């Protein structure tokens, strides 16, 4: 499976790291309601993906991070929302505990748990190991059918695309 054209990239997703732990959000709302995920959300008009990532981290955790590492793209089709995509980031977490928010419960979990637990959004089991190793950014594409992952693929991002981030 190869993506011919990227779908609309309207969201960001960031994983805050501290040692062998990653901050995860147990989502209160769709999509992925009741699953563990990173923090993130919509890119507002006029925002760059990086600006949206930093804002969303602040809004959902209270952490004011100066920058994040761009790890790639995650795209999908056949999911509970229409075809789309998001920008993936990681960042070191500042000292202290995150602030509670209305999006869900925040908790520090081990990286190993995040990469394997059935309570975590299923595509993260594939994506997170690449992000944690800070490998060359790539696009991960997932196809779903009847609420289940049917297929996935990953490809490197073009140098042209990486220069735009």
Per-residue pLDDT tens for 131-140?
999 999 999 9
Looking at the DSSP assignment, which residues form a beta bridge with residue 101?
A: 104
Per-residue pLDDT tens for 20-41?
999 999 999 988 999 999 999 9
Q: End-to-end CA distance of the chain, in Å?
A: 25
Kindly report the CATH class assigned to 9-164: alpha beta
The reported pLDDT for the residue numbered 8 is 86
More confident residue, 160 or 12: 12
Q: Where are the domains of the chain?
A: 9-164
pLDDT band at 4 (very low <50, low <70, confident <90, very high): low
The reported pLDDT for the residue numbered 155 is 93
Per-residue pLDDT tens for 66-119?
999 999 999 999 888 888 999 999 999 999 999 999 999 999 999 999 999 999
Token pair recorded at residue 46: 């006029």
In the chain, where do the E strands start and end? 9-18, 21-27, 36-37, 39-42, 69-77, 84-92, 104-110, 138-145, 148-156
Residue in this structure with the two tokens 């990227």, named with its chain if needed: 6
The reported pLDDT for the residue numbered 1 is 47
More confident residue, 65 or 158: 65
C-alpha neighbours within 13 Å on the C-beta side of residue 92 = 4
The reported pLDDT for the residue numbered 32 is 92
The reported pLDDT for the residue numbered 165 is 76
pLDDT at 162 over 90: no
The reported pLDDT for the residue numbered 140 is 97
- With beta carbons less than 8 A apart as the criterion, state whether 76 and 86 touch: no
Q: What is the mean pLDDT of residues 117-124?
A: 97
- With beta carbons less than 8 A apart as the criterion, state whether 112 and 129 touch: no
């Amino acid at each position: 499976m190869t993506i011919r054209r990227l779908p609309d990239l309207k969201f960001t997703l960031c994983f805050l790291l501290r040692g062998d732990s990653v901050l995860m959000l147990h989502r209160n709302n769709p999509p992925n309601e009741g699953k563990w995920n990173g923090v993130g959300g919509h890119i507002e008009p006029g925002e760059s993906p990086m600006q949206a990532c930093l804002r969303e981290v602040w809004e959902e955790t209270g952490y004011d991070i100066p920058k994040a590492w761009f790890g790639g793209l995650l795209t999908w089709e056949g999911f509970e929302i229409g075809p789309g995509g998001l920008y993936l980031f990681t960042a070191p977490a500042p000292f202290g505990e995150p602030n509670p928010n209305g999006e869900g419960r925040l908790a520090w979990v081990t990286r190993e748990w995040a990469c394997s637990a059935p309570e975590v959004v299923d595509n993260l089991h594939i994506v997170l190991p690449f992000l944690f190793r800070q490998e060359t950014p790539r696009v991960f594409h997932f196809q779903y059918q009847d609420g289940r992952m049917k297929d996935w693929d990953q490809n490197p991002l073009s140098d042209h695309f990486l220069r735009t981030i």
